[in-house]
């Protein structure tokens, strides 16, 4: 092989020729091409990880290849390594990744230098807390007081959280910790953590402690399914709220030292999480990947979707992920199947009864004009929050069921089976899991949002009660207590019910739901086995000539059979921002733009790329951030208080209580290790 062949580094990888690869990389000009992408969009490290060329992987990593960049399928090298499962390679890539993050921030002409130009010194004190109306959840909600100091290239972060105990119910461990980072002109950095209670310190970078490496590895090893999460802000709106008789939109926030600042209320809403789940189904080989893709509820938006036709398969440009947050929320939504027998009787089968006409009380902190915000999208895109009524009844926009259902789902058949069971149980009880009465408005909401859903929920139970009624008629009109009680079912059936037997059947129905889920998983496994069995292994093999033939320039992933599911989750609960009035606060949000921009580069896996490079995700970020900056006047204001809904019953709050840009208020001693502190192991945020 000669260096004049196309993609010589890729060819060495394809041939698994480590010796030739090392010879090529000795040439300085050739080494500059170590991150070159072939006409399929794969860099050498991506190709090596796809094909499990372990010797070539190590050679490329030792020669400083880029471990952050994505390929055209939007997977970065760590993603491919996680699916490969080699712990040594995963560890090496993780360490190189964080090294590049730090170097990229402090490199000459980089974001740190830009930040020093607009905000050389700053000290901010921020109070963070999570709040919940549910007492049990409220007890475990974390709180923290954070001090952030910046003085040129020196940083310090003080926190009152020393870790998280995940044994049993997760809880925050109180402490008194500091992290100090000193960046140098050459891009190097020294980071230490201090424990003020024990009067000890430990270096975090460049020499990472073993407990930190172990923590990073534990969260990235033995992964069977890869999740990714990305934010779609195509319909995201921030709007200043207007005052009214009952709701205040202006507030004076008190700070420490007797200072106070007037603020205006802004509300932000309607953003989406794009979630991609990737599962590998078979071993690695020199063949084209067979990729089964299922795209759920993907809406057309400003985040243009790119259709990639590779064997009739469609992918979107947006990446994915983290279902874990959704699972956490589901754990709060789904109640125990073994609810008390008395609750089973519920309010829906009452003595000649109907649903209670009691209306839900309005929350004084609710959004009075949230619908006006959502209606701004009506002329462009119909979002889940602006779905129209499917009948002639008055449009119902609020319901106790909203926190349990994803309004972006159009077909009720797509609703999770356990969520449906939970809703059915609540209807039978006449109350939701928080004790709120289910009214006619709530049932009308289900009818309008998900036509046919109520019938789907109740049909099995109605059939059961009909059978019970028939049996009771044949035996006696009197129950075991000697009293005849008539109950009205939703379809008008009146009969005597044996509640013991009805409850028994209810329990059987719960077991049936579990059996249905088990059958679904078994069916998925059978489909997977059949898919692997029917896969054309021989004809899918790709030789070197075929791979590097520029005529075959389609987007190509090698080596794995995989399944990819992608969907969007909508979040319409409003985020509240109390913004300082123009030019009254010591800093404005624009002065933090270099930091925001760098975090975005990390988010899009583009830390090693220049701003001049054209990239879809990066362009979308620039456009989105400019729109947001205009809406909140970020060159004049700063958010003094932020309230973010996390789950149905949990909100997070950030509040600034002090701010100074005077360098005299930030002594140099803050960035030095006290002389009476000893070097020792500090298991910061590492309790399990």
- The reply to whether 528 falls in a domain is no
pLDDT at residue 282, as a whole number: 80
Q: Which two tokens stand for residue 171?
A: 């809880």
Residue 577: Cβ-neighbour burial (10 angstroms; 0-12, 13-18, 19+)? buried
pLDDT at residue 400, as a whole number: 85
Tally of structural domains, the chain = 3
Same domain, residue pair 332 and 468: yes
Assess whether pLDDT exceeds 80 at residue 349.
no
Last residue of a domain, one of 69, 103, 137: 103
Q: Which two tokens stand for residue 403?
A: 């926190």
Last residue of a domain, one of 485, 515, 545: 515
Beta bridge partners of 564: 278, 293
Q: Which range in 198-202, 224-228, 282-286, 499-503 is most confidently predicted, on average pLDDT?
A: 198-202
Assess whether pLDDT exceeds 50 at residue 375.
no
pLDDT at residue 152, as a whole number: 95
pLDDT at residue 435, as a whole number: 80
Residue 401: Cβ-neighbour burial (10 angstroms; 0-12, 13-18, 19+)? buried
Same domain, residue pair 450 and 490: yes
Q: Which two tokens stand for residue 623?
A: 């456009």
Are 294 and 546 a contacting pair, CB within 8 Å?
Answer: no
Assess whether pLDDT exceeds 70 at residue 304.
no
pLDDT at residue 419, as a whole number: 78
Secondary structure of residue 47 in the 3-state scheme: helix
Q: Which residue carries 């299922």 as its tokens?
A: 294
Instruction: In whole angstroms, give the CA distance from residue 538 to residue 544.
Output: 15
Instruction: In whole angstroms, give the CA distance from residue 565 to residue 321.
Output: 10
Residue by residue, DSSP assigns 553-583 as -S---BS--EEEEEEEEEE-SPEEEEEEPTT
pLDDT at residue 389, as a whole number: 38
Beta bridge partners of 277: 227, 565
- The reply to whether 383 falls in a domain is yes
Beta bridge partners of 272: 232, 570
Are 662 and 623 a contacting pair, CB within 8 Å?
Answer: no
Of the pLDDT bands very low, low, confident and very high (cuts 50, 70, 90), residue 77 is very high
pLDDT at residue 38, as a whole number: 92
Residue of 386 and 89 predicted with greater confidence: 89
Q: Which residues have a Cβ under 8 Å from the Cβ of 206 and sit 6 or more positions away?
A: 99, 188, 189, 190
Give the angle 413-417-421 at the CA atoms, nearest 5°.
115
Of the pLDDT bands very low, low, confident and very high (cuts 50, 70, 90), residue 340 is very low
Domain range for 420: 326-515
Helix (H) or strand (E) holding 164: strand 154-165
Assess whether pLDDT exceeds 60 at residue 485.
no
Same domain, residue pair 473 and 596: no
- The reply to whether 675 falls in a domain is yes
Same domain, residue pair 209 and 118: yes
pLDDT at residue 201, as a whole number: 95
- The reply to whether 579 falls in a domain is yes
Residue by residue, DSSP assigns 329-376 as HHHHHPPPSS--HHHHHTTTS-TT---B-PPPPPPTTS-TTHHHHHGG
Same domain, residue pair 123 and 90: no
Same domain, residue pair 97 and 135: no
User: What are 641-650's pLDDT values in tens digits?
Assistant: 999 998 888 9
- The reply to whether 523 falls in a domain is no
Instruction: State the average pLDDT over residues 179-192.
Output: 89
Residue of 292 and 655 predicted with greater confidence: 655
Mean model confidence pLDDT for the chain: 76
Assess whether pLDDT exceeds 90 at residue 50.
yes
What are the two backbone dihedrals, phi and then psi, of residue 494, each rounded to the nearest 5 degrees? Answer: -115, 130
């Amino acid at each position: 092989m000669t260096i004049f062949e196309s993609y010589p580094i890729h060819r060495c990888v394809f041939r698994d020729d480590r010796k030739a690869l090392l010879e090529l990389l000795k040439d300085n000009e050739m080494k500059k091409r170590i991150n070159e992408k072939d006409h399929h969009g794969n860099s050498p490290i991506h190709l090596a990880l796809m094909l499990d060329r372990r010797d070539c992987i190590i050679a490329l990593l030792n020669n400083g290849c880029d471990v952050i960049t994505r390929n055209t399928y939007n997977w970065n090298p760590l993603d491919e390594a996680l699916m490969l499962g080699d712990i040594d390679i995963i560890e090496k890539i993780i360490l190189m990744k964080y090294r590049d993050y730090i170097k990229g921030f402090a490199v000459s002409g980089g974001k740190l230098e830009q930040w020093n130009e607009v905000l050389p010194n700053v000290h901010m004190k921020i109070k963070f807390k999570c709040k919940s109306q549910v007492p049990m959840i409220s007890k475990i909600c974390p709180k923290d007081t954070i001090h952030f100091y910046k003085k040129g290239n020196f940083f310090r972060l003080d926190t009152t959280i020393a870790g998280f105990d995940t044994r049993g119910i997760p809880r925050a461990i109180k402490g008194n910790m500091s992290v100090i980072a000193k960046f140098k002109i050459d891009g190097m950095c020294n980071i230490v953590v201090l424990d003020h209670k024990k009067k000890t310190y430990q270096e975090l970078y460049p020499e990472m402690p073993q407990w930190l490496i172990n923590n990073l590895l534990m969260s990235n090893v033995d992964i069977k399914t890869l999740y990714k999460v990305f934010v779609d802000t195509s319909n995201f709106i921030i709007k200043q709220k207007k005052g009214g008789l009952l709701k205040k939109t202006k507030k004076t926030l008190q700070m420490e030292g007797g200072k106070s600042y007037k603020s205006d209320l802004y509300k932000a809403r309607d953003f989406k999480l794009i979630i991609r789940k990737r599962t590998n189904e078979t071993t690695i080989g020199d063949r084209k990947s067979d990729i089964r893709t299922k795209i759920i509820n993907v809406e057309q938006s400003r985040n243009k979707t790119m259709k990639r036709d590779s064997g009739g398969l469609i992918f979107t440009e947006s990446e994915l992920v983290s279902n874990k947050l959704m699972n956490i929320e589901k754990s709060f939504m789904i109640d125990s199947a073994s609810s008390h027998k008395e609750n089973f009787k519920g309010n829906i089968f009452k003595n000649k009864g109907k649903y209670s006409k009691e209306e839900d009380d309005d929350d004084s902190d609710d959004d009075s004009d949230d619908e006006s915000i959502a209606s701004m999208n009506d002329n462009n895109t119909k979002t889940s929050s602006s779905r129209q009524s499917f009948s002639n009844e008055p449009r119902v926009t609020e319901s106790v069921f909203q926190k349990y259902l994803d309004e972006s789902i159009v077909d009720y058949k797509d609703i999770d089976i356990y969520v449906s069971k939970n809703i059915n149980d609540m209807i039978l009880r006449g109350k939701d899991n928080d004790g709120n009465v289910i009214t006619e408005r709530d049932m009308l909401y289900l009818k309008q949002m998900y036509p046919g859903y109520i019938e789907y929920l109740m049909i099995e139970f109605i059939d059961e009660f009909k059978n019970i009624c028939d049996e009771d008629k044949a035996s006696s009109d009197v129950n075991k207590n000697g009293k005849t009680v008539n109950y009205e079912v939703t379809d008008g059936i009146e009969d005597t019910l044996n509640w013991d037997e009805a409850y028994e059947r209810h329990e059987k129905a719960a077991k049936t739901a579990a059996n249905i889920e088990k059958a679904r998983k078994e069916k998925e496994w059978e489909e997977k086995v059949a898919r692997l069995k029917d896969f054309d292994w021989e004809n899918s093999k790709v030789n070197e000539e075929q791979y590097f033939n520029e005529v075959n320039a389609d987007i190509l992933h090698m080596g794995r059979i995989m399944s990819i599911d992608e969907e969007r989750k909508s979040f319409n609960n409003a985020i509240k921002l109390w913004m300082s009035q123009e030019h009254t606060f010591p800093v404005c949000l624009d002065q933090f733009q270099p930091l925001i921009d760098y975090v975005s580069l990390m988010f899009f896996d583009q830390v090693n790329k220049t701003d001049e490079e054209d990239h879809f995700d990066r362009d979308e970020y620039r456009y989105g951030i400019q729109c947001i900056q205009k809406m909140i006047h970020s060159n004049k204001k700063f958010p003094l208080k932020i309230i973010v809904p996390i789950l149905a019953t949990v909100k997070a709050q950030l509040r600034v209580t002090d701010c100074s840009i005077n360098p005299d208020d930030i002594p140099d001693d803050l960035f030095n290790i006290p002389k009476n502190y000893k070097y020792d192991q500090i298991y910061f945020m590492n309790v399990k």
